[in-house]
A and B are shown apart, each in its own frame.
Chain A
Amino acid sequence: MNMQLVTGNHAAGHSMSLAGEANRTARGSVCGIYPITPQTEIVEFVARYPFSRGKVIPVESEHSAMGVCIGASMNGARSFTASSSNGLAYMAENVMVAAFYRLPIVMAAVNRTLGPPWNIWADQGDSLMFRDFAWVQLYCDTNQDVADTTLLAFRLAEDPRVLLPVMVCMDAFIVSHTSMEIELATQEQVDRYLPDCKVPHALDPAHPVTMGGMTLPQETLTHRTDLDAAMKQVPAALEEHRARFSDIFGREVSGALTAYRTEDADRIFIASGTISITLRDVVDEWRDKGEKVGMIRIKQFRPFPNEQLEELCRGAPKLAVLDRNYSAGTGGIFWQEVRASLQGRGDHLVQGYLVGVGGGDVVPETIREVVRDLGERSCVAAPIWKGIEQ
């Protein structure tokens, strides 16, 4: 086993670089890169990787970084990059184009608070602004999960049934800059796991077409329903590629949802990212007291795993959603999605809690407050803020 003590950024950079190198047998890999805290170490890792058929281009903005990835992917190469926070916001137009062009680009998004006010700590509001941009989004909880999910992301993105870009998200600093001992993939394993990258609609001089010309509403409608069809292929494809991952790497990579002690639970707590690790410990505390509580970690935010969630929540009358993000005027974004997902599927009380918005620590006591509050609650209230100093 190749165990190493590495940060989340290192884990992402390592997996991306090995994936890029694996495509040396096809058209190689090309990345546009641009620094921003806290993801900079990822693009630095990629920039110093000795690719045998690859080119890393340090450009002048995030918008151009994704632009380079689009051009490269449209010319048949494997392409990837990373960004955070306002960098993602600046990149936004081309982020959308990558998906609408059905390009299998992989991007690591290190979730950092959007400014102003300027703040580098963890908050998912940056990548969640792309929820309607046709990217598959996977939220990781540990460094191992980042390393493995990044490889899974390439396999999924390039699956001909899917052909959508994939965003691998992780909490700023808590994952990106914290070292954990994890098992790193070897090139030989990645070569076996990832087939040559094929972009079926890549530029072809023998068949000159115009990519991205004008369409009338009817053709645009077809484009959107094609995106819908591709998104619907993701759950089954993800399971296949997870199984193949286990065969090659000898360990499991987490799937769309991870349920813990939910079987007989009457209260289920739903979270994503690193909060779900702390939540798990708190669930154990309450179970030790004989309380029927459980938790679900949502990893796959797009496409949203409606059916699986409904199945796992079926027996639980009360649900709490813990969001480290905030959509002004409504509440937490995962909370909105869970409510929408369960609408008309059972009679749940779905209470939203805003925890760690702007990067504040979400410690066991924060979550204990949520557990106590939900226990006493008989009707739903507006999303409840946690961590505000009186």
Chain B
Amino acid sequence: MNAVNPEYTSPDCLLRPGNTNCGGCGMSTALTMLGRALANEHYSLVIPACCGIVAAGAFPTTSYNVPVLASTFASSPAFATGVAAVNELNPRSDHQADHVICWAGDGGTYDIGMATLSAAAERNEDIIYICYDNEIYGNTGGQRSSATPAAARTTTTPGGKGETKKEIIEILAAHHVPYAATLSIAHPDDFRRKIRQSLEIRGFRFFLIHAPCPTGWKTEPADSVELVSLAVRSGVFPLYEVIDGLDYRINADPDGTDPAAYYARQKRFTGQEIDLERVKTSLKRKNRRLRELASLRH
């Protein structure tokens, strides 16, 4: 085995330097944050077709510092179910947990993997499922998915997408999974707390990360963190968690920032008429509903 720089095998290094991810890649930053949150934990990753598996690099090298199993596009929750079942039958001698984490893009989550995801959630498999959502099929050059927001231009919606983004957290909450939450790379403390908190829970845990893709979003790589910060502040991407599909908690209140600031910095939202008033109304309704859900106590 080749000698590896010790810095890259430190307990908090999940994604090693030297990977080929694009500059400003939200997935890349999220992996670094995940590695820090999981320092000293035992875990393996199951990654379907997505930029996450390309990031591993070409055989026989790997950018990941943990065991990775590449799955077929729709199958990461099924592969992970098998891995987790064997872990359950073979507990570690030190009684520490062996976490199994699916790391998937929005195409593998919202679209082709939806049935598999729903089934694993319904069975309440002991899996952590993390979707890094760049709102397009990024790996294939930026086609629309059901996570693509309304009005966004993609290579398959050249005039802007006419339909609304699917609400994946609501779908998971409807499965009554023990834990579902959104994460932002602009809120590293919140990111870390939620990941750590989920480790104390057994069963199906779901995370959604807003992950900028400068190539697909037509944005400046340096703007990525600022963009997702704007998304949280303007209510485009609310930070919240849902326990048992019943208890909603908002983790960062929108501060009244105009969502126009978020849209204006992305060329995917230019070149056609975006009805910003409609967007604002829709966001207002969505966030009001979220506040109402969060005010309910079961």
Contact = CB atoms under 8 A, between A and B. Distances in A.
B79 A68 contact: yes
Main secondary structure of the interface of B (DSSP, over half): mixed
Contacts of A213: 53, 56-59, 62, 68, 70
Contact-size category for A: 35 or more
A346 B84 CA distance: 54
B66 A67 contact: no
Contact of A72 (B1, B54, B83, B116): B83
A32 B116 contact: no
Interface string B79-105: 111111111111000000010000000
B72 A55 contact: no
A74 B82 contact: yes
A231 to B, nearest CB: 22
A72 B89 CA distance: 11
A70 B71 CA distance: 9
A152 B98 CA distance: 33
B277 to A, nearest CB: 42
Interface string A15-42: 0000000000001101010000000000
A60 B67 contact: no
B184 interface: no
B82 A73 contact: yes
Contacts, number: 160
B78 A203 contact: no
A323 B138 CA distance: 47
Nearest to A209: B62
B59 A219 contact: yes
Contact of A94 (B67, B75, B80, B83): B75
A75 B87 contact: yes
Contacts of A208: 62, 64-68
A26 to B, nearest CB: 9
Given A208-B64, A214-B57, A216-B58, A68 B115 contact: no
Q: For this complex, into which size category does the number of interface residues on chain B fall? A: 35 or more
Contacts of B82: 30, 32, 57, 67-75, 77, 79
Contacts of B88: 55
B72 A203 contact: no
Interface in B99-128: 115-116, 118-119, 123
Contacts of A59: 78, 81, 119, 123
Contact of B44 (A28, A76, A205): A205
A226 to B, nearest CB: 13
B78 A214 contact: no
B173 interface: no
Interface in B4-31: none
Nearest to A216: B58
Contact of B46 (A71, A93, A205, A216): A71
Given A208-B65, A213-B62, A214-B54, A68 B78 contact: yes
21 contacts: A27-B86, A28-B90, A30-B85, A57-B85, A60-B116, A63-B74, A67-B78, A67-B82, A68-B78, A69-B82, A71-B71, A71-B86, A72-B82, A204-B67, A209-B62, A212-B70, A213-B56, A214-B57, A214-B59, A215-B59, A216-B59
Given A59-B81, A68-B85, A208-B67, 20 more contacts: A27-B86, A28-B86, A28-B89, A30-B82, A53-B89, A60-B116, A64-B81, A70-B75, A71-B71, A75-B83, A76-B90, A79-B82, A97-B72, A205-B44, A205-B66, A208-B66, A210-B57, A210-B64, A210-B70, A214-B54
8 nearest A-B pairs in the assembled complex, by CB-CB distance: A71-B82, A67-B78, A212-B70, A60-B119, A72-B82, A75-B86, A64-B78, A71-B79
Interface of B: 1, 42, 44, 46, 53-54, 56-60, 62, 64-72, 74-75, 77-90, 98, 115-116, 118-119, 123
Interface of A: 27-28, 30, 32, 53-55, 57, 59-61, 63-65, 67-77, 79, 93-94, 97, 203-205, 207-216, 219
